[in-house]
Amino acid sequence: MADGRGAAQLSEAAQSELLDMCEEQFARLEKLQNEIILCEPDFCENPQEQSVKRLIATEAELKQWSTVEPQLLAENPEILLEAGKEEMHKLCSELEMVASCYEAKRDKLKETMELEQKWLEEKKQMLAAASGHNERLQIEKEELSEHTVLQDIKEKIQKMKVYQESLMETLGYILEKHVPLPQEDSSTNKKKKNVPHEIHENLISLNEILEILMNKALNTPHDPYVATDDTFWPPYVEMLLRYGIAVRHHENNFKIRLETFF
């Protein structure tokens, strides 16, 4: 036995038998080595031929060994037991080394897996936060878009109202200045006492007539005609008709409407 501890556990007879076996095997090995040296071919031969012969010899030896039944080196059970123990200790040691390597590798993989899971969890949280932020931005964008459109419309309507009021004020100012309400002249009335009063007391201004026509056209576009009465001064009506601002009804001459300018 190579291990001194294992040899110390053997009895003297087993140790003696084991030494005899070792000497016998060593002598046999020495004999085989001498035969191999004597049988070595001459180096002057063809190297290719030498390689072929060596291959043939190796194949023959392999075939011979494949037919030989394996035999025990010793028949003493005490020697076999110690040899088995030594092989088992050696195998256990190797298995412990393999297990230690695999445990270290397992710990390393476990650590790597924990790091990867932590990284994955962080990425999931980042993705969830980004998705939530994106959804909020989409909602804000839609709300802002609707609010912006509504605000723009309101601003345009307000501007149009201001512009309309400005136009109406300007129109009222121009009409009041250049086309005032008709008034009776007292000196003329004294000279012409026999002439009947042709001016009605409830006459409305030209500005009011235009406002009535515009409101009628906007409120009831299907029926934009306005019936003229005593409050409509005929010269005003004729002026509107003459300059194409208003048109008469094709069946009723006492109805007029605002001309369509679009």
For the residues 228-255, what does the mean pLDDT come to? 91
Q: What is the pLDDT at residue 190?
A: 45
DSSP sequence for 74-130? ---HHHHHHHHHHHHHHHHHHHHHHHHHHHHHHHHHHHHHHHHHHHHHHHHHHHHHH
Amino acid of residue 125: Q
Give the dihedral sign, CA 214/216/218/224: negative
pLDDT in tens, 33-56: 887 777 665 555 567 777 788 888
Distances (CA, A) of 97 to 103, 108, 204: 10, 16, 117
Residue 22 near residue 10, CB atoms below 8 Å: no
Rank 106-115, 134-143, 146-155 by mean pLDDT and report only the highest.
Answer: 106-115
> How many whole angstroms separate alpha carbon 229 and alpha carbon 252?
13
Distances (CA, A) of 247 to 45, 206, 219: 136, 16, 18
Average pLDDT, the chain: 81
Distances (CA, A) of 28 to 31, 34, 65, 72, 100: 5, 10, 17, 16, 41
Higher-confidence residue: 245 or 198?
A: 245
pLDDT in tens, 65-118: 788 776 666 677 777 777 788 889 999 999 999 999 999 999 999 999 999 999
Q: What is the pLDDT at residue 27?
A: 86
pLDDT in tens, 171-196: 888 888 888 877 765 444 444 444 44
Residue 210 near residue 246, CB atoms below 8 Å: no
Q: What is the pLDDT at residue 152?
A: 85
> How many whole angstroms separate alpha carbon 148 and alpha carbon 136?
17
- Per DSSP, the three-state class of 256 is strand
Structure-block tokens of residue 173 = 């100012």
Composition of the chain by helix, strand, coil, percent to 5: 70, 5, 25
Looking at residue 257, what DSSP letter applies? Answer: E
Is the pTM above the cut of 0.85?
A: no
